[in-house]
Amino acid sequence: MLSRRSFVVQAAAAVVLGPAATAFAQEAKPAAKPLAVPANPPAAFLDAIDAKFREPVRSVMRAPTISAKHAEESFFAQPAIYDWFLDHPDRASLAWRRLNVPCAEIVDRGSGEFVYKDDAGSEVAWRAVAKFADGVVWYATGKVKPATVLPVVSIKAVAILKCPRKATGDTGEAATFDPATTIYIQTDSKATAAMLRIVGPAAPRMAEQGAEQLLLFFSGPSRYIFDHPEDAAKLLAPARR
């Protein structure tokens, strides 16, 4: 399970979406080899970003405190289900909890904005600022409590999730997915900078773990529903009021 009080990279690994536990840890395949992170965002990519968020996204990507990229092993799922979870992270969080896996609650504020809070003082809000045929870009701002001994720190973050898929079968209702994500986290906190120096070589691996869990947050319930369609209605039902 992703710790909410570990180093800032993992706390903000939810960058976008709250700490998801690994429901499929026992059956998971070995992690794919992390990929290199590009130094600067391509102009064509930035042009696709909502104009209101283009400069903030550019700023975070060009000068992140830390970043990481991770590719997930191929898996089967229904495109409609996977894409629906991308648009409704609050419902992905609910699906995890219905699978009896601890997962932070995510709140839909409306107008495309979502928020995650915890009792330690963390609060991160994010929204999709670009959507592509095979992916989405999120921009997040807020504050996190990286560890018990550290103060709450402000962060800005960008997460890019690419989810190319290839249809399988004759109906087109199933596909093979090969997602990859890149996360960029920026903070001006002196405490965080000091912690980065202390952690040293471990910091990139912690970032990779955060990226890995971000992918699992969406793929986990999508895979489960593909393998257990009889539970789809229960996992996708709205929360009871």
Residue type present at position 192: T
User: 157-190 pLDDT, tens per residue?
Assistant: 999 999 999 998 766 689 999 999 999 988 876 6
pTM here? 0.81
Structure tokens at 21: 């536990």
Highest mean pLDDT among 13-27, 56-70, 72-86, 108-122: 72-86
Q: Is the confidence at residue 87, as pLDDT, over 80?
A: yes
Separation between Cα atoms, residue 90 and residue 92, nearest integer Å? 5
Both ends of the chain: CA-CA distance in Å?
Answer: 27
Decide: helix, strand or coil at residue 139: strand
Separation between Cα atoms, residue 183 and residue 162, nearest integer Å? 12
Fold of 8-235: Alpha-D-Glucose-1,6-Bisphosphate; Chain A, domain 4 (3.30.530)
How many other β-carbons are positioned within 10 Å of the β-carbon of residue 14? 31
Separation between Cα atoms, residue 134 and residue 42, nearest integer Å? 17
What is the residue extent of each domain of the chain?
8-235
User: 34-48 pLDDT, tens per residue?
Assistant: 444 555 667 778 888
Query: Which phi-psi region, left, alpha or beta, contains residue 4 (left: φ > 0; alpha: ψ -120 to 50)?
Result: alpha
